[in-house]
Amino acid sequence: MKVAILGMGSVGRGVLRMLGEKDLGIEVTAVADSGSALIDKKGISIPEILKAKEMKGSCGDRSLGAIDVVSAADYDVLVEVTPTNAITGEPALTHMLAAIDRGHHVVTSNKGPISREFSLLMSRASEKGVCVRYEATVGGAIPIMHTLDQGLAGNRILAIFGVLNGTCNFILTRMADEGLTYEQALLEAREMGYAEADPTYDVKGIDPAIKLVILANKFWKETVRLEDVDITGIDKLTNNALRLAEEQHCTIRLIAEAIPDRGILRVAPRLLPLSHPLVVEGTLNAITIETDMAGEITLIGKGAGSVETASAILGDLLYIRDIHEGSHPETA
């Protein structure tokens, strides 16, 4: 199977490294970063391209770009791992649609296009008979999409509750454990590299709300959008509130919640008993799914990281390979 990779940030490099280390029968025929691209239908040497990126800061020919990879390279699956644009989903959305129109599958970690244009992408993919997989968009390494699509197939989803933002969970853990103020914990999260210079998306609850939209669209009747989510962030919480919660053997976590029967789509700080399965430490993520047949299932795992996200991407790639094995005789 041949893949073209858009994006050579932390996720893209993680995917390349793992493809290089593991003998999975997956060949990289094109790579693009923000300023250049490299296309070779005979296959690209992964160590060489990682080295070029490290030494020169770019991966290939500066006269080529992502759109050239999408429209001209020889590949079965487009791996779209560029940074998220939550407002328009562009330019990733255009690249994904172009790949689908050429009859290629898409695997992505990009929340923008999946949360904004879910129905467009899915209907276009189904017209062309290709897959769009997005395991890496929610919960990092946690196989939540595989769990919902395959593991829990046939179940009715009654509710989903999740800790979907590692930065917020880290801040709340530090405030509770060390009595740090919100500002101190945020500063620490920045120093550790968990929070962006502008932490608004995380601490205001927008990032977990986007992930909730992606999850809800798997089982909600109508298409859900970010505007449908009732969002409260963690930036007004105090260490005193956490201390008062602790006195009652409780703590506060930022919980994303989707309950279809009650029309609830909400991200808000909530009080939980310390023994609750969603009370996870540090940057971990956790998701509880309530279903009619399987009852309650909770998945806990690393919500971010280069190799952790690569795990989700590789899971999607191998799923597509197994499903479509033999359908592309020249690459099977």
Judged by beta carbon, residue 13 or residue 276, the one nearer other proteins is: 276
Instruction: Please state the closest distance from residue 313 (CB atom) to other proteins, in A.
Output: 31
Interface residues with other proteins (CB under 8 A) are 158-159, 161, 232, 236-238, 240-241, 243-245, 247-248, 250, 252, 255, 257, 259, 268-272, 276, 278, 290, 296
Contacts of 327 (CB under 8 A, 6+ apart): none
ω into residue 199 within 30 of 0, thus cis? no
Per the residue annotation, which of 2, 53, 211, 302 is the catalytic one?
211
Instruction: Please state the closest distance from residue 255 (CB atom) to other proteins, in A.
Output: 6
Residue 147 DSSP class: I
b/e for 14-26, b at 16 or more Cβ within 10 A? bbbbbbeeeeeeb
Judged by beta carbon, residue 71 or residue 238, the one nearer other proteins is: 238
> SS3 of 169, please?
helix
Instruction: Please state the closest distance from residue 289 (CB atom) to other proteins, in A.
Output: 12
Judged by beta carbon, residue 230 or residue 325, the one nearer other proteins is: 230
Distance between CA atoms of residues 255 and 250, nearest Å: 14
211 flagged as catalytic:
yes
> In this structure, are strands 157-163 and 250-259 parallel, antiparallel, or unpaired?
antiparallel
Contacts of 257 (CB under 8 A, 6+ apart): 159, 160, 161, 162, 212, 264, 265, 266, 267, 268
Instruction: Please state the closest distance from residue 238 (CB atom) to other proteins, in A.
Output: 5
**How large is the angle between the packed helices 46-56 and 10-21, nearest 10 degrees?**
150
Active site residues: 211
